[in-house]
């Protein structure tokens, strides 16, 4: 778990061009869901290419605590012997989800309609994040929650002994909230309905259907309506986890801003609910191409080729695209610093409640590095200085946020002076091989200030 050890400062600097192939690890969202849905199935689920980052490992431990047998076979192959829907045992210890909002919120949903009690905690970042967005709908099923002020962890959930199905419109665009409600709905009789006004990542819907749940998705003017029939018997699956587009974002963006670069990032899923960053970069004039575009497991997949792009132009990112690139705004703001003109990002209030307040974390570091940033509650604007014009030469605070750390390390590969992050240890939550992968491309990243 991050944030409990000694901070690891890291410094990146301009150097050789980035060249070669970057094989990024498995998708974090799909990895969490594979373990949880595997645990809720009857029989053995096989997961190939699981992301072995700290967030997902914490979810694996949690599934063991709820009674599933989770085995690491090496080489990113894992199996889960599930206990079935409604089969969770009561954990004897506190469930520590580390840094992971996805882990804790999905697991709370998965246990909330069983007659068991569990207490959840996490690191300093996770204990500062709002859980009311999940416990409010879980209360409608009959679950009770007892947390700290403002619905913060540590928090105890008393699962509903006689859950009732729920019809719920998510008040914020959040796949975590949607997924928590759907997972709770699995053990409620009748139909649970979730309505989301804006489409968010749809892995839960796709995977629930894959595991044999009866689920329909309809799109109306008021949004997407997902209807789940409760108490199915989920069938174990063989899952091959696709590579994570949110991790691919870092070598892709690094290649766009590091002079002379040409990097191939193979096998990246371009599910439209996740691929907003790549569309945005292309609109900014990035030399980013989709090679070998194909379909795998019903999803578009491509090898991404990113080449140094000295003539990027800032754009206004359409607010309706926000959910499909919500984790990528930090690294987009880095690329925007090297573009000509302004990049305007609106409708992004959710960035304020991620692993850190990401608008604040990025604005502070970018300003220190010489970039003008304007911000409001749900918007921010980055004034690009153009390639070769970004000073850098500062140390920035990462606030237990992996994506803030990786974004500023990428930035330092193109600033005039090196960039240092005060603590790169949170990178292990989502992208444990980030340093060797970037080094293999030729990036100059060292430990220390």
- For residue 56, the minimal CB distance to ligand S3P (Å) is 11
Distance of closest approach, residue 104 Cβ to ligand S3P, in angstroms? 11
What letter would DSSP give residue 16? S
Question: d(Cα 134, Cα 229) in Å, to the nearest integer?
Answer: 20
**Cα-to-chain-centroid distance, residue 134:** 17
The residue of the chain with the least Cβ separation from ligand S3P equals 29
In this complex, which beta carbon is closest to ligand S3P, that of residue 287 or of residue 350?
350
Token reading at 93: 């210890």
CB of 404 to ligand S3P, least distance (A): 13
- Alpha helices in 145-298, H assignment, sequence order: 175-185, 203-210, 245-257, 276-283
- Residue with Cβ nearer ligand S3P (12 or 29): 29
Nearer to ligand S3P (CB atom), residue 81 or residue 174: 174
- Determine the Cα–Cα distance for residues 194 and 148; give it in Å rounded to an integer: 27
Report in angstroms how near the CB of residue 333 gets to ligand S3P at its nearest: 16
Residue whose entry in the numeric block shows the structure tokens 């645990």: 39
Tell me which DSSP letter residue 90 carries. P
- Nearer to ligand S3P by C-beta: 352 or 447? 352
For residue 148, CA distances in Å to 31, 115, 145, 252 come to 29, 22, 10, 40
Looking at beta carbons only, is 49 or 392 nearer to ligand S3P?
A: 49
DSSP conformational letter for 260: T
Q: What is the nearest approach in angstroms of ligand S3P to the Cβ of residue 120?
A: 16
Q: Which is nearer to ligand S3P, 327 or 435 (CB)?
A: 327
Residue (314 or 426) nearer to ligand S3P, CB: 426
> Could you tell me which residues are beta bridge partners of residue 307?
262, 287
Q: What share of the chain is helix, strand, coil (3-state, %, to 5)?
A: 35, 30, 40
DSSP class per residue in 148-190: ETTTEEEEEEE--SS----EEE-SS--HHHHHHHHHHHTTSSS
Minimal distance in Å, beta carbon 431 to ligand S3P? 12
Active-site amino acid positions: 327
CB of residue 301 vs ligand S3P: minimum separation in angstroms?
19
**Cα 144 to chain center, whole Å?**
27
Q: Decide whether 166 or 326 has the Cβ nearer to ligand S3P.
A: 326
Q: Rounded to 5 degrees, what are φ and ψ at 343?
A: -115, 125
What would the DSSP string read from start to end of 289-357? EEEEEEEETTEEEEEEEEE--TT-B--EE-GGGGGGGGGGHHHHHHHHHTSBSEEEEES-GGGGGSSS-
Residues sharing a CB contact under 8 Å with residue 389, sequence separation 6 or more, in sequence order? none
CB of residue 237 to ligand S3P, shortest distance in Å: 18
User: Which residues touch 401 (CB under 8 Å, ≥6 apart)?
Assistant: 125, 354, 355, 356, 358, 361, 426
Residues in the chain: 449
Q: Left (φ > 0), alpha (ψ -120 to 50) or beta: where does 90 sit?
A: beta
The strand order across the sheet containing 42-48 reads: 69-72, 77-83, 42-48, 238-240
Give every strand in the sheet of 167-169, ordered side by side.
167-169, 191-196, 223-229, 215-220
- Sites of contact with ligand S3P (CB under 6 A): 29, 102, 174-176, 179, 200-201, 326-327, 350
């Amino acid at each position: 778990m991050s944030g409990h050890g000694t901070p690891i400062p890291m410094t990146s600097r301009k150097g050789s061009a980035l060249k070669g192939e970057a094989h990024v690890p498995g998708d974090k969202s799909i990895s969490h869901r594979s373990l949880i849905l595997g645990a809720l199935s009857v029989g053995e689920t096989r997961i190939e290419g699981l992301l072995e980052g700290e967030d997902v490992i914490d979810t694996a431990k949690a599934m063991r605590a709820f009674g599933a047998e989770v085995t690491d076979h090496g080489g990113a192959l894992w199996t889960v012997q599930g206990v079935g829907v409604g089969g969770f045992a009561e954990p004897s210890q506190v469930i520590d989800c580390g840094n992971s909002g996805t882990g804790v919120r999905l697991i709370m949903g998965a246990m909330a309609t069983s007659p068991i009690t569990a207490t959840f905690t996490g690191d300093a970042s996770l204990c500062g994040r709002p859980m009311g967005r999940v416990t409010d709908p879980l209360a409608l099923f009959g679950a009770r929650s007892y947390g700290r002020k403002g619905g913060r962890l540590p928090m105890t959930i008393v699962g509903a002994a006689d859950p009732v199905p729920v019809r719920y419109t998510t008040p914020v665009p959040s796949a975590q909230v949607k997924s928590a409600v759907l997972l709770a709905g699995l053990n409620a009789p009748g139909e649970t309905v979730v309505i989301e006004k804006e489409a968010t990542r749809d892995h839960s819907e796709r995977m629930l259907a894959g595991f044999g749940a009866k689920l329909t998705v309809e799109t109306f003017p008021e949004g997407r309506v997902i209807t789940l029939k409760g108490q199915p018997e989920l069938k174990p699956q063989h899952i091959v986890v696709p590579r994570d587009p949110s991790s691919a974002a870092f070598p892709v963006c690094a290649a766009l801003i590091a002079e002379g670069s040409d990097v191939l990032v193979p096998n990246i899923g371009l599910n439209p609910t996740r691929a907003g960053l790549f569309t945005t970069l292309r609109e900014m004039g990035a030399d980013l191409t989709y090679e070998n575009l194909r379909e795998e497991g019903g999803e578009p997949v491509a090898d991404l080729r990113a080449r140094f792009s000295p003539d990027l132009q800032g754009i206004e990112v359409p607010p309706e695209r926000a959910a499909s690139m919500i984790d990528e705004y930090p690294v987009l703001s880095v690329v925007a610093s090297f573009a000509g003109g302004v990049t305007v990002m609106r409708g992004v209030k959710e960035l304020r409640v991620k692993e850190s307040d990401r608008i604040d974390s990025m604005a502070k570091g970018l300003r220190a590095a010489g970039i003008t940033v304007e911000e409001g509650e749900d918007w921010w604007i980055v004034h690009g200085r153009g390639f070769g014009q970004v000073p850098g030469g500062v140390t920035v605070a990462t606030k237990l946020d992996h994506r803030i750390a990786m974004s500023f390390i990428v930035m330092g590969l193109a600033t005039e002076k090196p960039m240092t992050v005060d603590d790169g240890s949170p990178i292990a939550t989502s992208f444990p091989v980030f340093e060797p992968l970037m080094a293999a491309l030729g990036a100059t990243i060292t430990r220390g200030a």
